[in-house]
Every structure is written in C-alpha cells, then in structure tokens.
Chain A
C-alpha cells in the first residue's frame, strides 16, 4: 500500500518567512501528486497537483512544489508567507491501486 510521510506536523513562523513542507511517499510506480490546503473550519481545497511534465509545479497563492522522483519526494514551498496562509496542508499520492493516500498533514501557523 502507498504510504505518505509528512514531517514537522506543527510549524510556526512569522509573516514574510519562507515555508517548506516535506512530503515523501513509498510507491515506486507512476504517481500523481497533490497538495491540499484546509483553512480553519473549512474543507480541503486543491493547492496544486503534478501528473507529468515539468517537475516544478506552480499552484495558487504563490505556492509551488517540486517533484524529485529519485527521492520519492514532492515538497511544497512558498518564499514569503502571509497570515492568511495559516492552515493545515496535506500531501496526497496515488498508490498501486490508483487510490489516493493522504499524509497526516502539517499544521502551519503564521504569526503576523
């Protein structure tokens, strides 16, 4: 089965700081990769996704992620965070059955 690892479950940083969240997965086959964001009290929304092509993916709100196949990683980055980026971030990867597996999430708090 596919497993998805997200480290540093709680991240606290100040506005304008840079953010990087790690995502590693176990399945070695062809993968589709996703980052979702869940703002406080809301549902999960797609931030960005990678299916094929350029491994550097641009998403909404200034987020980007890089797929590194050799490292089984799909890390999320934002150069300068805002208070409104306070949210929980989930990485998701499809496994051998095709079904998406979600990581346990990163709780990010941005201090004004």
Chain B
C-alpha cells in the first residue's frame, strides 16, 4: 500500500495567492483528517470527513480556509487568500474508524511570503 499521499510536498507562494493542498487517503479508509502543525501551536485538527462528508470543521481558522472531499480517494484543502501566518506544515491522515489508528501523509510545507 502506498500510504497517504500528499501533494505538493513544498509550496512557496506570495500573500494573497490561492493555495490548494491535495490528499489521497489509504484505500478503504472511511475517515480523512486535515491537520496543521506549527512551532507555536503544535498539531491542530482543522477538519475531518467521514465517507466524504465533512463532520467537524470547528478547527478551520477562518473563512479563508475550505476543504472538500469529492470522492473517497481525494481531498483538497484550499486557502484563499493566503497570508504569512498560514505558513505551516499541513498533514493529511486517514483511518478506517474514528477512534482507530490514523495514518499520516508526508505533509505539505507551506511558506507564504
């Protein structure tokens, strides 16, 4: 199994630009999670999906952030417009059940100048 796949691995953009992060979960996993990791705030859950449906988006910082899961094998996290304080590593994780092991992708390191 290829594990959770994320792209791009690194993204450098300028303030105000739109950023789209992509995730392919492990096949057969019903749950998909988006996390953000920074030195200051640690690991934060942004949103998670169950069977492609967003269940809890209370961690999404503000309306500039949006996430979609159009099918079981693909999810996107979009930031529009991006700001320097969005600079972080964004991880996607998937799990077969809600309280089960989460498998993390390699992450996308986002730098907003």
- Which residue in chain A gives the minimum CB-CB distance to B99? A94
The chain B residue with its CB closest to the CB of A43 is: B104
Are the CB atoms of A105 and B42 closer together than 8 Å?
yes
B56 close to A (CB within 8 Å): yes
Interface mask (A26-37 → B, CB under 8 Å = 1, otherwise 0): 000000101010
CA distance A100 to B94 in the complex (A): 12
> Is B102 touching A100 in the complex (CB atoms < 8 A)?
yes
Provide the residues of chain A in CB contact with B101, threshold 8 Å: 34, 46, 49
* Interfacial residues of chain B within 24-55, with CB under 8 A of chain A in the complex: 42-43, 45, 48
Binding site for A on B (CB under 8 A): 42-43, 45, 48, 56, 91, 93, 98-107
In A72-112, the 8 Å CB interface with B consists of 90, 92, 94, 97-100, 102, 104-105
A residues less than 8 Å from B107 (CB atoms): 43
Chain A residues with Cβ below 8 Å from B56 are: 99
Selected contact of A43 from candidates B91, B98, B99, CB within 8 Å: B91
Against B, the Cβ 8 Å flags (1 = close, 0 = not) of A42-54 are 1111100100000
Please give the number of chain A residues whose Cβ is less than 8 angstroms from any Cβ of chain B in the complex.
Answer: 19
Question: What's the nearest-Cβ distance from chain A to residue B67, in Å?
Answer: 16
Residues of chain B within 8 A of A43, CB atoms compared:
91, 104-107
Using Cβ atoms and an 8 Å threshold, which residues of chain A touch B102?
92, 100
A73 to B45, CA, bound (A): 22
CB pair B98 A99 closer than 8 Å: yes
The listed residue (A32, A36, A104, A105) touching B100 by CB distance below 8 A is A32
- Chain B CB count within 10 A is highest, among A34, A36, A99, A104, for A99
Given the interface pairs A42-B106, A43-B104, the reply to whether A99 lies near B43 with Cβ below 8 Å is no
Interfacial chain B residues near A98, Cβ < 8 Å:
98-99
A104 and B39 alpha carbons, distance in the complex (Å) = 10
- Min CB distance B22 to A, Å, is 15
For residue B41, which residue of chain A has the nearest CB? A104
Query: B105 to chain A: which residues have CB within 8 Å?
Result: 43
* Residue of B with least CB distance to A49: B101
User: Are B104's CB and A44's CB within 8 A?
Assistant: yes
